[in-house]
């Protein structure tokens, strides 16, 4: 069944020593330095997953022979000093010594990322009627020679007699503690039970989570997690009150293995790549759990359940499921609904038998975060024709109401997250997030996050800037920058025109920050993909965008979106502003509701199974719609009356003032 390698020539082996850690590894000649570093579990970042695009996996070869296939973006001086792109540099013959520069650990929190104030999350079901976790006080008859019933059966009997609960289940980790716990508590205990769980249509008896002395403080907590590709947010929930007590957030540690889901899937193909990605996801969540535990003085075992919402790739990686087929046509996930899991199985730092609910997904690119959004937005229960959208690297959208739900995902690319745009950046300190350009002087006014010196432009800033450039005529409807615009802000570098929104020195900026014509082109492709998605979704069920009664905007990016400016560039449909509603972190909200309430769990399963997934790459009309949307705001201006009016007003204004 396996190849015999007896006749194969043996590959020459090379020893690589990494400094300053001192790790040494023997690898076949031709192994990339990045792969060798990963095998040594060294922290070498690879945002492009080792495709040689980002140049961030820099290391310094201090001795030995290597083969460089690319030196992407490195100066000759650096190359002479031994600096190399680890993913593009391969072990030659003999011993090699490689210095791994120390990384400044990204301690910064994701900016303004949906860190809800305590108790700010609404309770979306009457969870007290149907709670997921419940506490029961018991006074148990101690055993005697006349009644030698086992500890567990004695507990069951007491639950039946004192609370009418006929059956319970228990797993090994809890049974291991049961005997000592009952005796330590002198048979007066409080038990936490997971109340109702089911497999398909079959209900299971309640499940034992914990046994502790009634005399002690009784706490029963849960954690709802939004496992984003970029940021991860965790909410600590008290099962007794149903309230959010605290929250914490951090960047997803997997960023070191790729900025977006595609890069991470590529990374997973490396040796131990999938294990590392899974480990980083678990570690990121564990860091948040620890922070919440410390700040609120609770023990891991007091966390009785978790609910986690993430896109399909994130949940596959968290569970260690092979993600390869998500990326290859025809884009198939291993699972839509995750199996029953407990914290122990995943290595999460909670009660070892805490149930971990993973929100179910619909397809490879419509994940549990979107199911969570449909739930928390309430669109699954409304009569109104609703469009739910979550814009990020992918634009995911769902159209429908309580009777039907149709979803799709369009690959917008990373432009709205600052990727593929020269001065683009994530929404963190120093990002330009708000821009206004004077009609007459064509001079910009902008605001940065935390009012820090400008470092780059984040997604909302890019939308603002593009809209302003369009309205002021600096950029035309095809996305070309007017090289003759009457302002020194427009200049041409290497044949590519750009608009400098911030010059080095302005407000303390260290460098010029500009939007180039290529950047505009990236933004146009991104917004066109999303807008085409809306059109195809509506067309496939025979409705018009104008028929949509409400447009619900969820997701991290959505919170900072200015609807009018997004309409101006043709990213959002030109509908009355009152139809748009911002819902905040719908993924986290959905996880929160799932955590708390059994009826929501039913709804989640129901929604995920009834939602239809429209594969755009199999849809002929998508390409046509996309091409039509590659203009500002769109080829067909009749769909954008408010933009047409604004352009007309400007033309008038110019006419009047010129």
Q: Is 175 among the residues that bind its own copies (CB under 8 A)?
A: yes
Closest residue by Cα to residue 622 from 524, 539, 520: 539
Pairing relationship of beta strands 303-310 and 444-448 according to DSSP bridges? unpaired
Among 5, 76, 172, 494, binds its own copies (CB under 8 A): 172
Q: Is 330 among the residues that bind its own copies (CB under 8 A)?
A: yes
Q: Is 332 among the residues that bind its own copies (CB under 8 A)?
A: yes
DSSP structure class, residue 367: -
Nearer to its own copies, 109 or 152 (CB): 152
Site track 334-363 with its own copies (rule: CB under 8 A), x = hit:
xxx--xxx---x-----------------x
Which residues in the 203-222 window bind its own copies by CB under 8 A?
203-205, 216
Nearer to its own copies, 76 or 620 (CB): 620
Which residues in the 251-310 window bind its own copies by CB under 8 A?
none
Among 92, 112, 300, 320, binds its own copies (CB under 8 A): 320
Interacting span for its own copies (CB under 8 A) from 177-185, 386-394, 571-579, 620-628: 177-185
Nearer to its own copies, 249 or 278 (CB): 278
Contact 586, 377 (CB under 8 A): yes
Minimal distance in Å, beta carbon 193 to its own copies? 14
Minimal distance in Å, beta carbon 469 to its own copies? 38
Q: Is 1 among the residues that bind its own copies (CB under 8 A)?
A: yes
Tell me the chain's radius of gyration from C-alpha atoms: 28
Nearer to its own copies, 10 or 203 (CB): 203
Interacting span for its own copies (CB under 8 A) from 64-72, 250-258, 485-493, 611-619: 611-619
Q: Is 176 among the residues that bind its own copies (CB under 8 A)?
A: yes
Nearer to its own copies, 282 or 593 (CB): 282
The alpha helices in 89-237, defined as continuous H runs, are: 151-163, 172-184
Nearer to its own copies, 150 or 478 (CB): 150
Residue 63 CB coordination number (10 Å): 12
Please state the φ and ψ torsions of residue 514, each to the nearest 5 degrees: -135, 165
Evaluated on CA atoms 647, 650, 656, 658, the torsion sign reads negative
Among 4, 148, 620, 638, binds its own copies (CB under 8 A): 148
What count of residues does the chain have?
658
Contact 394, 409 (CB under 8 A): yes
Among 62, 63, 162, 617, binds its own copies (CB under 8 A): 617
CA-CA distances (angstroms) from residue 102 to 43, 44, 89, 152, 203?
A: 9, 9, 19, 53, 52
User: In angstroms, rounded to a whole number, what is the distance separating the alpha carbons of residues 642 and 469?
Assistant: 17
Closest residue by Cα to residue 644 from 629, 634, 657, 656: 634
Among 331, 447, 562, 581, binds its own copies (CB under 8 A): 331
Residue 349 CB coordination number (10 Å): 19
Q: Is 143 among the residues that bind its own copies (CB under 8 A)?
A: yes
Contact 195, 131 (CB under 8 A): yes
User: In angstroms, rounded to a whole number, what is the distance separating the alpha carbons of residues 102 and 88?
Assistant: 20
Q: Which helix (H) or strand (E) holds 493?
A: strand 490-493
Q: Is 329 among the residues that bind its own copies (CB under 8 A)?
A: yes
Minimal distance in Å, beta carbon 19 to its own copies? 30
3-state helix, strand, coil in the chain (%, to 5): 35, 25, 40
Site track 475-514 with its own copies (rule: CB under 8 A), x = hit:
----------------------------------------
Interacting span for its own copies (CB under 8 A) from 3-11, 486-494, 609-617, 628-636: 609-617
Nearer to its own copies, 136 or 152 (CB): 152
Closest residue by Cα to residue 280 from 258, 301, 302: 258
Residue 237's DSSP bridge partners are 222, 244
Minimal distance in Å, beta carbon 87 to its own copies? 24
Among 222, 273, 333, 497, binds its own copies (CB under 8 A): 333
Minimal distance in Å, beta carbon 225 to its own copies? 18
Nearer to its own copies, 14 or 338 (CB): 338
User: In angstroms, rounded to a whole number, what is the distance separating the alpha carbons of residues 347 and 298?
Assistant: 18
User: In angstroms, rounded to a whole number, what is the distance separating the alpha carbons of residues 66 and 31?
Assistant: 10
Secondary structure class of 454 (helix, strand, coil): coil
Contact 207, 169 (CB under 8 A): yes
Minimal distance in Å, beta carbon 322 to its own copies? 5
User: In angstroms, rounded to a whole number, what is the distance separating the alpha carbons of residues 574 and 340?
Assistant: 44
Q: Is 76 among the residues that bind its own copies (CB under 8 A)?
A: no
User: In angstroms, rounded to a whole number, what is the distance separating the alpha carbons of residues 341 and 471?
Assistant: 53
Interacting span for its own copies (CB under 8 A) from 97-105, 168-176, 233-241, 599-607: 168-176
Q: Is 170 among the residues that bind its own copies (CB under 8 A)?
A: yes
Among 6, 77, 80, 145, binds its own copies (CB under 8 A): 145
CA-CA distances (angstroms) from residue 595 to 294, 310, 586?
A: 21, 14, 14
Binding residues for its own copies, rule CB under 8 A, total: 56
Among 69, 103, 183, 295, binds its own copies (CB under 8 A): 183
User: In angstroms, rounded to a whole number, what is the distance separating the alpha carbons of residues 258 and 164?
Assistant: 52
Secondary structure class of 399 (helix, strand, coil): strand
Nearer to its own copies, 149 or 478 (CB): 149
Interacting span for its own copies (CB under 8 A) from 90-98, 176-184, 429-437, 448-456: 176-184
Q: Can you say how many angstroms the Cα of residue 507 is from the centroid of all Cα atoms in its chain?
A: 32
**606-635: buried (b, 16+ CB within 10 Å) or exposed (e) per residue?**
ebbeebbbbebeebeebeebbebbbbbbbe
Q: Is 241 among the residues that bind its own copies (CB under 8 A)?
A: no
Among 19, 62, 120, 150, binds its own copies (CB under 8 A): 150
Nearer to its own copies, 175 or 543 (CB): 175
DSSP structure class, residue 10: P
Q: List, in order, residues 6 or more apart from 69 with CB less than 8 Å away.
A: 52, 88, 89, 90
User: In angstroms, rounded to a whole number, what is the distance separating the alpha carbons of residues 618 and 657?
Assistant: 51
Q: Is 620 among the residues that bind its own copies (CB under 8 A)?
A: no
Minimal distance in Å, beta carbon 295 to its own copies? 18
Among 4, 7, 144, 656, binds its own copies (CB under 8 A): 144
Among 97, 152, 452, 644, binds its own copies (CB under 8 A): 152
Residues engaged in binding its own copies (CB under 8 A): 1, 143-154, 167, 169-172, 175-176, 178-180, 183, 199-205, 216, 319-322, 324-325, 329-336, 339-341, 345, 363-364, 613, 615, 617-618
């Amino acid at each position: 069944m396996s190849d015999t390698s007896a006749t194969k020539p043996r590959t020459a082996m090379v020893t690589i020593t990494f400094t300053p850690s001192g790790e040494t590894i023997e690898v076949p000649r031709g192994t990339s330095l990045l792969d060798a570093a990963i095998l040594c579990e060294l922290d070498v970042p690879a945002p492009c997953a080792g495709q040689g695009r980002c140049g961030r996996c820099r290391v310094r070869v201090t001795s030995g022979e290597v083969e460089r296939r690319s030196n992407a973006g490195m100066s000759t001086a650096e190359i002479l000093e031994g600096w190399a792109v680890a993913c593009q540099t391969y072990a030659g013959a003999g011993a090699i010594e490689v210095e791994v520069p120390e990384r400044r650990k990204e301690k910064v929190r994701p900016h303004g990322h949906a860190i809800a104030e305590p108790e700010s999350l609404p309770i979306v079901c009457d969870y007290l009627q149907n709670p997921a976790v419940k506490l029961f006080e018991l006074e148990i008859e101690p055993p005697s020679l006349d009644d030698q019933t086992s500890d567990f059966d004695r507990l069951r009997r007491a639950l039946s007699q004192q609370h009418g609960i006929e059956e319970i289940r228990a797993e090994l980790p809890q049974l291991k503690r049961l005997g000592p716990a009952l005796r330590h508590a002198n048979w007066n205990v409080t038990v936490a039970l997971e109340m109702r769980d089911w497999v398909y249509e079959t209900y299971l008896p309640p499940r034992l989570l914990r046994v502790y002395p009634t005399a002690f403080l009784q706490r029963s907590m849960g954690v709802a997690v939004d496992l984003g590709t970029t940021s991860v947010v965790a909410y600590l929930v008290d099962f007794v009150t149903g309230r959010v007590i605290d929250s914490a957030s951090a960047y997803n540690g997997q960023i070191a293995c790729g900025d977006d889901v595609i890069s991470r899937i590529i990374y997973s193909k490396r040796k131990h790549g999938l294990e590392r990605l899974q480990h980083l996801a678990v570690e990121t969540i564990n860091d948040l759990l620890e922070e919440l535990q410390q700040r609120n003085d609770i023990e891991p075992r007091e966390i009785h359940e978790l609910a986690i919402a993430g896109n399909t790739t994130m949940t596959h990686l968290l569970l260690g499921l092979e993600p390869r087929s998500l990326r290859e046509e025809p884009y198939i996930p291993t699972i839509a609904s995750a199996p029953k899991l407990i914290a122990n199985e995943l290595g999460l730092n909670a009660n070892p038998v805490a149930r971990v609910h993973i929100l179910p997904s619909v397809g490879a690119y419509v994940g549990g975060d979107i199911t969570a959004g449909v739930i928390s937005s309430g669109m699954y229960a409304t009569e109104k024709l609703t469009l739910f959208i979550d814009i990020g690297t992918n634009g995911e959208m769902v159209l429908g109401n309580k009777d039907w739900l149709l979803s799709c995902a369009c690959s917008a690319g990373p432009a709205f997250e600052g990727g593929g745009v020269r001065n683009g950046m994530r929404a963190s300190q120093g990002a330009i997030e708000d821009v206004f350009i004077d009609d007459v002087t064509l001079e910009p006014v902008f605001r940065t996050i935390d009012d820090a010196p400008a470092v780059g432009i984040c997604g909302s800033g890019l939308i603002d800037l593009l809209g302003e450039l369009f309205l002021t005529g600096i950029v035309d409807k095809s996305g070309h920058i007017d090289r003759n615009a009457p302002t020194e802000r427009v200049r041409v570098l290497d044949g590519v025109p750009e608009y400098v929104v911030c010059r080095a020195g302005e407000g303390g900026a260290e460098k010029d920050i500009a939007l180039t014509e290529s950047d505009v082109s990236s933004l146009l492709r991104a917004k066109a993909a999303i807008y085409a998605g809306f059109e195809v979704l509506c067309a496939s069920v025979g409705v018009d965008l104008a028929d949509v009664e409400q447009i619900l905007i969820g997701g991290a990016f959505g919170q900072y979106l200015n609807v009018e400016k997004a309409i101006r560039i043709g990213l959002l449909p030109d509908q009355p502003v009152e139809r748009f509603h911002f819902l905040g972190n719908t993924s986290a909200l959905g996880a929160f509701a799932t955590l708390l309430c059994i009826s929501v769990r039913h709804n989640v399963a129901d929604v995920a199974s009834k939602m239809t997934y429209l594969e755009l790459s199999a849809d002929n009309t998508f390409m046509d719609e996309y091409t039509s949307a590659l203009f500002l705001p769109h080829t067909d201006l009749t769909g954008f009356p408010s933009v047409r009016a604004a352009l007309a007003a400007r033309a008038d204004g110019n006419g009047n003032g010129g």
